[in-house]
């Protein structure tokens, strides 16, 4: 039943960002020159 419910739902917006941080043992990347730390999210391009 859970698989049927999940099949119709989209991926939560912050899921990939939270996985990225958890993989790094909860350490964020270094801050950029402007002092801001960014989470990078992989993107799929439809024209490739």
Q: What distance lies between CA 15 and its chain's CA centroid?
A: 5
Q: What is the pLDDT along the chain (48 residues), one digit of tens a residue?
A: 788 888 888 888 777 777 777 777 777 778 899 999 887 777 777 765
Please report where in the chains the tokens 């990225």 appear, as a residue. 20
Report the pLDDT value the prediction gives residue 48, as an integer from 0 to 100.
57
**By C-alpha distance, which of 5, 15, 8 is closest to 41?**
15
Report the pLDDT value the prediction gives residue 11, as an integer from 0 to 100.
80
Instruction: List CB contacts of 40: < 8 A, sequence separation 6 or more.
Output: 20, 29
**CA-to-CA distance for 19 and 48, rounded, in angstroms?**
25
The pTM of the full predicted model, rounded to 2 decimals, is 0.36
């Amino acid at each position: 039943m859970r698989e049927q419910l999940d099949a119709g739902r989209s991926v939560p917006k912050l899921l990939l960002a939270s996985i990225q941080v958890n993989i790094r043992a909860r350490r964020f990347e270094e801050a950029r020159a402007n002092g801001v730390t960014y989470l990078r999210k992989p993107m799929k391009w439809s024209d490739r």
